[in-house]
Every structure is written in structure tokens, then in C-alpha cells.
Amino acid sequence: MIKYLVACCFPLLLGEQQALAGSPPSRQVDSLSTSIVFMPDSLIIDSLRYEFTRLKEIAYRRKWSKQLYRALFPRLPRGKIEVIEAENSEARYKSYSGRTIRDVRVKVLPPFGTSVRDTSDVRDSTRWFETMGNSVHQRTSERLVKRHLTVKPGDRIVPFELVQNELLLKQLSNIDDALIRVIEIQGDSSAVDLQVTCRDEFSWTGSGSTNFMYNAEIGIENRNLWGQGHSAHYDVVYRGHQEQKWGHRARYTIRDIFSSRVDFHGEYRDTRDNHFLSVELEKEFLTATTRRAGGMTFKRIYSSTLLVDKDVTRPVQLFNYKLVDLWAGYSHQWPQRYTFNQNVFITARYSATRFIDRPPVSPDSNHFYHDRDTYIAALSYMKLKYFKANLIYDFGRAEEIPSGLHGTFITGYEKQEFDDFFYLGSEWVYSWYNIHADRFYALSIALGTFFNSYKMESGVFKMDGKYISPLYRLGKNRFRLYARVDYTRGIHRNPGDSIYFREKDIPGFNNSKRDIPGGNHRLSASLSTTLFLPRVKWGFRSSLSAHADVGMLAAGNDPLLKSPPYWGLGASLNLRNDNIVFKNLSLRIVYYPRVAGAMKSIHASAHTSRESGFHAYQVRAPEPLRYE
């Protein structure tokens, strides 16, 4: 393990060019001692081969342990290491563009012992563990999968629409993986069939995170109640250093109610930071051909450190309020240009905030707690396409990399108890994946402010940049470098309206609000590397990460670069196993050279979630830029 840690940190310390001199990006197929296949549209479980002779000999001494061994370590086909050749995600459908869809066939596979790539059941009669797991699983019906698709018989093949439908299925909580194939019809060159293959996510799952000291969360979830894709989640929160040590959260989600494309979300939360009840109905812009979207939300907030309809974070005050939120949007699809798919969106939103208990208010004080009505409208432009590659944020599974431009102009009007405000803002996001160099770049910039009698007030400026290097080789291992820079500046903010370090600025440092004064401008930067290990043990794929993060905060007009820098230097071990319920586990330790107050210089944590770092390219309800 030590040699892997050294290998992981080495390129980070020496820099990309020095560590990789004479080692150009490699994209060809290699043969290593351990056979692993990274396939573009399948689960890696079907492409891994591993054998543990000693463990197998011990397990085969008894019948029950032999069966358990065969259940946990299925016999997998031989393969080679294959870093998939990046391609435009629409390429596999291009040759069928314009053909008529005759039929859509759906096959749903059980969660254990199957693959969307090879739909045959690879289990045998002795693998009772898999059989038992599949037997207690609540299976998704084929009819439900068809309901989620936006394509149907009689439609013509649009490659980008099929790519987005595949993504749509993969994003469902009850679907682990999905693959859409085009099947040619013998003797008919004008029509095709679609074969949609999905592998279910095991209906019961759990989640958790902890810093091994005073913070912990553990949750349980059923992602497929009654086989209809309903999701019910409950978790318990422990904060040992806070006055309210215990809290809990409950969520319930129904997707596509009565085939209307409308989703229901209900949530109740009672923690130290938030105590509220929320009910929401929403129809999203699912694909580029979706014309209309909208939603309505009712929230009853009993207490919170965040005013959900304002872009400020405040200390806990004695207040509670209710919020009604409505929005609607329309999309128009433009012709494809330079292989990019283009859409224009018009969205509008109305929200009403009414306080029930609050601090005393006046025209000159506590304006955050004024009753208000807010009207927001936005005009957005998006051009987008996806590339398919792997070994970026995940463990070899194919990832859809968005490339494109998303720009929004926002305007609005807010009527408060004692005053009125006009709002104007704009936000632009650009990302590009260079398929030839295997590099990813992203840049976002945003500016927004309220106006009171033609004076700017409560404004914010943001800029963020990201870079992901090509996939390099270090011995038998592969690794990438990741860089990020983030800058936020408040413009004519009210006294006491401050920002702090967030989790993404310095991991584990976001609890420092108690110890480090906030500011009105913040700069943070991060450099990290992830080493993807070639070996597979007990079905676990693994990677090692090392990161160096730095952040600075300044108040008023104080020079930001003269502020004391706060560092976080850390490493993490990331594990994934598609054979078990808790598929992801990340163990992280971070050292802080500079601390303040009661902060500790060492922070350790574990969590089971794993998120993508790509921009979502999703148009939702318009809102003022958040100052956070």
C-alpha cells in the first residue's frame, strides 16, 4: 500500500510535466498481469477476473463456505485491460438516424449475477446467496421503464435523444445501469427496433458518513417500493459538538406520476441546522425535445441557518416562516450546428415568503426577515453534446462527459414590506472535452445584483475554472491530475453578510464558521491526483487520491492575497464493489497546517456517496445567484 501512496503523491509533488517526461498519454490496449476490462456500456463486474487460491482452498473444505465463496466471487470471463477509446456518444446511433422505430422492447435484469451487456443469467444453482438477494429484491416492471422513455414506436431515430434517454434511465434511483441498442430489421431498411436493457439497483440500500469524532450520519433507503420506482429514505444525524446532538431526515419520491412526467418529492428534516417540511411537484426538461416544464413547492420552515429564498447564510435566529414557490418554462430546439444540439429556454418564477415568528423588523433593520414577493424571469441558451470515456471520476465505468455552453440572463423584481428591489444577473458555463488529447476544461463566470433606487445592493461575482489531465501511465497504474480555482466576491453586501469556506474549498473545513471570521471575498484552489489501481481483490476495485487545497478569506476592502492562507493536505482510499449493497466507500484523512479556535489539525472521514464533477447542463427554476 505504501508504494501506491508514493506513486499517487509523486506526480502531484513534482508536477505533471516533470513526472511524465517521455511518457505520452497512452490510449491503446495493454496487457497486465491482472486481467481487467473497462467496457463502454456495461458493468465492469462482467469483465473482471480474479482468483484467490488460498482463500478458495479454505472455503472449499465445507459445503456452506464453498457456496458462500462461489456467491461472493463469481467465475468471470477472461479479459484484457482496455481503456475505452473516447467517442462522441451519438456515434453508435448515427447510421440509423431518421429511421422509424417499429417496436421498443424492454428487458429488466435482477441486480446480482447479470449484466446489461450479457443478458444471460451467469449464476448457477449453488450460488444461493445471489438467488436469495434477487428473491427479496423488488423488481422494476418493463412497463415502468417504457413509461420513463421519451421515445415510442412510430418516432424517428434521433441520436441525441437516445443518448439522453440512456442517461435518463441511469439517473433513476432504481436502475443501476442501462443500455439502448438499435436492432436492424431484416428486409426493411427504413425501420428498426429498440432493445432497452436495464439492470435493477438492489431495492434496499444504505448510506453513511462520519469524521470519527463528533459527526456521523447513517441512513436506509428503499429505491423501488412496490416495483414502481418509488423511493423512501430515512437517516439519523449525530452532531456531538452541537446543542441539539441528534437529528433525523425522511424523504419520499415518486417519479412520473400517472405517466404525466411530473415527479413528487416530500421531505421532513429536523436537525440543528434545519427544521422544515417540504412538498414539491415538478416536471423537468428531460431531453432536448421536451417543450414544457414547471413545478410548485410548499415549504414550512420552523428554523434554519439558511433562508431558502435568499442568497445569504445567517446564524440561527428565532424565526419560522412558510414559502410558496411556482415556476414554469418553455424550450425551443434549434437545428444542430457543428455537431452541437441547441436549445433556447424561457423560464419564469414566483415565490412568496411569509414569516410567522421573527425578530423585530423595520425599514432599516433585519431586512432578511421582511415578508416578500419575488418575480424572476430568465432567458437561457444551451448547446450540448456528450463524449463517452472512462477512468475520470469513476472506476472504469463509462462516463458521459458534457461539452458545450450554457448561458443565462436573469431579471426580476422583489416587493418587500418596506422597499422594492430590481434584479439583474447573468451566468455562463463553458466546458470542453478534447477527444484527441483526452483533456477536459471548464470555465464558469457569473454576476448578479439587486438594485435599490439605481444603487447596487447584495450583489455577487463568481468565477470558477477546472482542468482534468489526460490518463497517464505510471508503471502498471493509470492516473489523472485535477485542478480547480474558485473565486467569489460580494458586491455592496450588508454588514454581517459573510461567506465562509465550503466543503469543496477545503475538505472537512466547512465546520470552521465557529472559529474563522467570514469575509466578503474568497479565493480557493485545489490540485489533486487519482491513481487507478489495476488489481481487483474480493471484487473491490480501488483508487488512491492525494490532494492539496488552499483557501483565503478577506472582509471589506482588505487585500485578499494578504489574508492568511488555510491549507488542507490529504489522501483518500476509494473502493467500489458492484456485488454488494454499499457499492462505494471512501476513507479520507486531511492535515491542516493552520487551525483556529477548537479546530483539530487532523480530520478523518468516511462516506459512501460518490458524485460527478461535471456541470449538469440542466435548466430549472430561475433564481438569483447565491452568495455562498
Residue range 553-602, pLDDT digits in tens: 998 888 888 899 999 999 999 988 766 666 788 899 999 998 876 678 88
pLDDT of residue 19: 38
- Residue range 94-101: mean pLDDT, rounded: 94
Q: Is the pLDDT of residue 119 over 90?
A: no
pLDDT of residue 118: 52
pLDDT of residue 220: 87
Cβ-in-10-Å burial (0-12, 13-18, 19+) of 592 comes to: buried
Task: Measure the CA–CA gap between 114 and 209, rounded to whole angstroms.
Answer: 29
Q: Which of 391, 571, 576, 409 is nearest to 4 (CA)?
A: 571
pLDDT of residue 41: 35
Per-residue pLDDT tens digits for 418-447: 889 999 999 999 999 999 999 999 999 999
246 vs 127, which has greater pLDDT?
246
Tracing cell 464493489 back to the chain, one arrives at 577
Task: Measure the CA–CA gap between 379 and 552, rounded to whole angstroms.
Answer: 34
Most confident of 112-121, 464-473, 528-537, 540-549: 464-473
Give the gyration radius of the chain's Cα atoms: 26
Q: Which residues lie below 8 Å from residue 503, measured CB to CB, with a gap of 6+?
A: 509, 510
Q: Where are the alpha helices (DSSP H) in 447-515?
A: none
The β-bridge relationship of strands 472-474 and 455-468 is unpaired
316 vs 329, which has greater pLDDT?
329
DSSP 332: E
pLDDT of residue 76: 42
Task: Read off φ and ψ for residue 11, nearest 5 degrees.
Answer: -65, -30
The pLDDT mean for the chain works out to 80
Q: Which of 47, 134, 85, 119 is nearest to 541 (CA)?
A: 47
Task: Measure the CA–CA gap between 337 and 317, rounded to whole angstroms.
Answer: 52
Task: Read off φ and ψ for residue 7, nearest 5 degrees.
Answer: -65, -35
- Residue range 376-392: mean pLDDT, rounded: 93
pLDDT of residue 241: 72
All three cell numbers of 240: 456531538
Q: Is the pLDDT of residue 404 over 60?
A: yes
Task: Measure the CA–CA gap between 381 and 449, rounded to whole angstroms.
Answer: 21
Q: Is the pLDDT of residue 27 over 50?
A: no
Task: Please name the amino acid found at residue 58.
Answer: I
Q: How confident is the model at residue 459 (pLDDT cuts 50, 70, 90)?
A: very high
54 vs 525, which has greater pLDDT?
525
Q: Is the pLDDT of residue 37 over 60?
A: no
Q: Is the pLDDT of residue 483 over 90?
A: yes
Q: Which of 256, 209, 251 is nearest to 228 (CA)?
A: 256
Q: Is the pLDDT of residue 123 over 70?
A: no
Report CA dihedral (5, 10, 16, 22) to the nearest 10 degrees: -110
Task: Measure the CA–CA gap between 351 and 38, rounded to whole angstroms.
Answer: 47
Tracing cell 406520476 back to the chain, one arrives at 257
Most confident of 57-66, 161-170, 494-503, 610-619: 161-170
Are 105 and 95 contacting, i.e. CB atoms less than 8 angstroms apart?
no
Are 480 and 472 contacting, i.e. CB atoms less than 8 angstroms apart?
yes
DSSP 212: S
pLDDT of residue 272: 78
pLDDT of residue 21: 37
Would you tell me how many other CB atoms lie within 10 Å of the CB of residue 120?
A: 9
Are 217 and 605 contacting, i.e. CB atoms less than 8 angstroms apart?
no
Element (H, E) at 109: strand 100-109
The rounded percent of the chain whose pLDDT value lies above 90 is 42
Tracing cell 431531453 back to the chain, one arrives at 287
Tracing cell 459512501 back to the chain, one arrives at 608
Q: Is the pLDDT of residue 282 over 70?
A: yes
Task: Measure the CA–CA gap between 123 and 53, rounded to whole angstroms.
Answer: 21
DSSP 14: H
Are 425 and 461 contacting, i.e. CB atoms less than 8 angstroms apart?
no
213 vs 266, which has greater pLDDT?
266
Which region among 205-219, 315-329, 510-524, 557-571 has the lowest average model confidence (pLDDT)? 510-524
Task: Measure the CA–CA gap between 566 and 549, rounded to whole angstroms.
Answer: 8
pLDDT of residue 116: 59
Q: Which residues lie below 8 Å from residue 13, measured CB to CB, with a gap of 6+?
A: none
Are 121 and 113 contacting, i.e. CB atoms less than 8 angstroms apart?
yes
Task: Measure the CA–CA gap between 312 and 183, rounded to whole angstroms.
Answer: 53
Q: Is the pLDDT of residue 550 over 80?
A: yes
Q: How confident is the model at residue 217 (pLDDT cuts 50, 70, 90)?
A: confident
Task: Measure the CA–CA gap between 507 and 505, rounded to whole angstroms.
Answer: 6
122 vs 54, which has greater pLDDT?
54
Per-residue pLDDT tens digits for 39-73: 333 333 333 333 344 556 676 677 666 666 555 55
The rounded percent of the chain whose pLDDT value lies above 70 is 77
All three cell numbers of 423: 434584479
52 vs 198, which has greater pLDDT?
198
Chain centroid to CA 371: 34
- Residue range 451-462: mean pLDDT, rounded: 90
Beta bridge mates, 161: none
Would you tell me how many other CB atoms lie within 10 Å of the CB of residue 80?
A: 13
pLDDT of residue 384: 96
Q: How confident is the model at residue 510 (pLDDT cuts 50, 70, 90)?
A: low
Task: Measure the CA–CA gap between 246 and 19, rounded to whole angstroms.
Answer: 48
Task: Measure the CA–CA gap between 461 and 427, rounded to whole angstroms.
Answer: 10
pLDDT of residue 581: 64
Tracing cell 441557518 back to the chain, one arrives at 305
149-162 burial: b if 16+ Cβ within 10 Å, else e: bbbeeeeebbbbbb
pLDDT of residue 466: 97
- Residue range 531-553: mean pLDDT, rounded: 85
Task: Measure the CA–CA gap between 2 and 532, rounded to whole angstroms.
Answer: 15
Task: Measure the CA–CA gap between 283 and 228, rounded to whole angstroms.
Answer: 18
Phi-psi region of 154 (alpha: psi -120 to 50; beta: other; left: phi over 0): left
Task: Measure the CA–CA gap between 349 and 318, rounded to whole angstroms.
Answer: 28
Q: How confident is the model at residue 114 (pLDDT cuts 50, 70, 90)?
A: low
pLDDT of residue 622: 95
pLDDT of residue 431: 97
Task: Read off φ and ψ for residue 163, nearest 5 degrees.
Answer: -60, -45
